[in-house]
Amino acid sequence: MKALLRKNIPRELRRLNQWVLWRNETVDGRLTKIPYQVSGKRAKPNDRRTWSPFVDVIRFDRGEFDGIGFVF
């Protein structure tokens, strides 16, 4: 993620360990954002154990994924 875009994310959100990577995948004929852990395994939106700190997600965002996401 470009440094400029990173700075646009509020510090309060960056401090929370609620981040995932995501890929666009086709599910049932529709393009869907699928969340992933930094390990490459799928993340679960209802399982905090599969989420990561912002700094880890940024470190692993090297083009293999389509973006990063915040889990509410």
Global pTM value? 0.87
* Token pair 């510090």: residue: 11
Q: How far apart are CA 3 and CA 23, in angstroms?
A: 21
Which among 9, 52, 47 is positioned nearest to 22, based on CA atoms? 52
Taking CA atoms, 36 is separated from 8, 11, 33, in Å, by 22, 22, 10
Query: Is residue 61 scored above 90 in pLDDT?
Result: no
- For residue 43, how many other CB atoms are within 10 A of its CB? 22
Confidence band (pLDDT; 50, 70, 90) for 9?
A: very high
Domain definitions of the chain by residue range: 3-70
